[in-house]
Structure 1
Amino acid sequence: MNTQLVQTLSQIIKTLTEEEQALLNELHSAQDSKRGNFYETATPAEWAKVFEEWADSHKHGTPLLSDEAISRESIYGERG
């Protein structure tokens, strides 16, 4: 990624007037509507990439439940 370009664009966006910001938002909305929704236009590879990014964004050290904790008896007690 070109960090210098990103920083320059960030500075430019911060200095936009309200009218210019509104025009930028309209342009962004128009581009989004042309692209369509992600679930309608994404390829299987894009789905996989987004899913893996989502999965990686979660904590990895969460302890697993024991067999007892997920047993039918512990979930339903005397009802099940």
Structure 2
Amino acid sequence: MSEQTARVKGPASYFPSIEKTYGHPIAHWQGLIRSSSLTRHSELVAWLKAAHGLGHGHANALVAHTRAEDAARG
């Protein structure tokens, strides 16, 4: 496998930085997102930023990845 195909792409590429910066595993953030009463992407991003201090890129990546996972599960 080449280095390029082994490299994580998309929202998940932010995950190591998110875990290091905020001290919680990705599952923690996904649990918060899934348990929130908010449903719109932009609302969830704004909430993660305001209530939990995440940067925009990190919040956006978490919401995008979590929603894509949930959509794939049906």
What band does the TM-score fall into relative to the shorter chain?
Answer: under 0.3
Decide which structure has the larger Cα Rg and report it. Answer: 1
Select the structure with the greater relative contact order (CA < 8 A; seq sep ≥ 6).
Answer: 2
**TM-score, with length taken from structure 1:** 0.25
**TM-score, with length taken from structure 2:** 0.26
Which one has the bigger helix percentage?
Answer: 2
